[in-house]
Structure 1
């Protein structure tokens, strides 16, 4: 399914209804859309699964529809022994950090690429998906504009009523900026490179799904995650959702509110996979530059796979970095959920170790 999650199908989705399956969260990670990187980060998969399940259950309690069904407790027998799917339980009943999440499945049609001039055939995508499909968009919400946010390249502070920031040149300051109101944006999901969309184009790509309803759902998710983060001492800076559409109803899909999908901070220090992105920018800049060049070079070709044009592979992370990032994910999950799922340092100690890298 992705570079960091595996996929299990128990009952396939059809044009007439949802199926059932599971995400299996691995310790792999991806940055800069590269796909699976050379290393694994211990406890990362269990951290993402635990935080995702925690947030899905919060959303369900607030009446927000999702595709979540529960988790598989790793301390129980995960194989029923007769071909049946493993038992699914609420997160509170798991006796150890889970790595499998049970979900309802929708159809995910192929998105044909017709070359640099014709682009992607969304009509074919929606014809195959009918009334039961994964909306081919990511809906991004932003409460803050941290350093490193792509929004700094695409908009000025004045676009959000922040006319007094940045001085006469109107540029973003060198520190995070809180937005007066959350901002919602749309980007592509299945294209070779993600791109942000004007609302009209997002509406076309969404198919039968309504962009106003997608935005409303994203704002509901943002509110629930932001409130929980504040209760646990975090600041929720930004994040995204994906959605499925079934018979005209939208539900939150994929996974929500983790350190991969969202950016959080604690005491002014960031907690997300941005830590790893910044490490690569500082310590493997030639690979980062090669990725950027390959993404630009693919624009006029008949393939949308820019990785074929990248002449470098990423360096592996040093063991000390792997251990530090592992502790950060684990400590952050403990703090966010309010339960000691992992044997990890407290969040302040984990952040101090990140600062020392």
Structure 2
């Protein structure tokens, strides 16, 4: 079968197989839409196998997916859909990537907490009583779903009206996606909590198949798409990130994240993202392996060695 490079993404390579695609998950890592000039050994394999784990569970729950076959150690074969620019999408369009990222948040953490502190989001929008002082790490009274752009250079949050407009979704289809997200997240929580994880938040992507049925695509429930905390430490009041958030926090502590966002606010040149120190790379590798084992319940033994 002919295998043509299609997209060499920041962390994932996509190859065209004709009617299908092949994903290859690399050891590259990105944060804040910037690719870090460092590799995390075995990261790609752990992410791929986590993705396969959740696709198999989704199929057993009757949720349509694009997953076809695991290609050890770090690849998978999936159904191919078209990528259509939003202005060309019509209500009758089929077999295309829905140009949205759907984020579901269960705790006050990450960017939603930053927006609370900055006053860009009010506590009552997250289900808290008006004027409630929200502390970092508090569980939200109800899951908070928001959507952002998928095909733009930098992700941009959308209200529901604009999300429907650029995606070609009907209100019923939008609601179906939200219900699917909640169903999957409940399954993730049931799976990982007994193994010592708190599922904090995560993103998911969807597409229509050739009969305009919604299916979940890309991957989800992995260390790059989702945020996980150590459950025992969370119960003791500590927030130990077992995910890519560990790397994000490194760049927060060094001040790089603030410099980057200030440059974006000014519309100026973005600062170069420095490589990770060796000790951060080593710790990140162990986090990815540990998280794989806690997500899947399997001991990590690399197919590559």
Q: TM-score by structure 1 length?
A: 0.74
CA RMSD after TM alignment: 2.0
SS at match of 1:237: strand
SS at match of 1:333: helix
- The 4+ residue runs of structure 1 with deviation greater than 4 A are none
SS at match of 1:29: strand
In 2, Cα distance between equivalents of 1:208 and 1:141: 18
In 1, Cα distance between equivalents of 2:213 and 2:111: 35
User: How far apart are 1:172 and its partner, in Å?
Assistant: 2.6
Assess, with a 3 A threshold, how the Cα gap between structure 1 residues 342 and 320 changes in structure 2: closer, same or farther.
farther
User: How far apart are 1:281 and its partner, in Å?
Assistant: 1.5
2:8 pairs with 1:8: no
User: Superposed, which structure 2 residues align to 1:172-183 within 5 Å?
Assistant: 172-173=134-135, 175-183=136-144
Query: Rg bigger for which structure?
Result: 1
Match of 2:21 in 1: 21
Contact in 2 for aligned 1:147/1:176 (Cα 8 Å):
no
2:163 pairs with 1:202: yes
User: How far apart are 1:208 and its partner, in Å?
Assistant: 4.1
Match of 1:239 in 2: 202
* Unaligned runs of at least 5 residues, structure 1: 12-18, 74-97, 112-121, 299-305, 344-357
Match of 1:45 in 2: 44
Assess, with a 3 A threshold, how the Cα gap between structure 1 residues 198 and 64 changes in structure 2: closer, same or farther.
same
Q: 1:279 aligns with which of 250, 263, 278?
A: 250
User: Superposed, which structure 2 residues align to 1:1-357 within 5 Å?
Assistant: 1=7, 2-11=9-18, 19-34=19-34, 36-73=35-72, 98-109=73-84, 111=85, 122-124=86-88, 126=89, 130-146=93-109, 148-149=111-112, 150=114, 152=116, 153=118, 154-163=120-129, 170-173=132-135, 175-208=136-169, 210-246=173-209, 247-266=211-230, 267=232, 268=234, 269-283=240-254, 285=255, 287-298=256-267, 309-310=269-270, 312-342=271-301
SS at match of 1:38: strand
SS at match of 1:258: coil
Structure with higher strand content: 2
The number of residues matched between the two structures is 281
Q: Deviations over 1:206-227 (max 9, x none)?
A: 2145211221221222122122
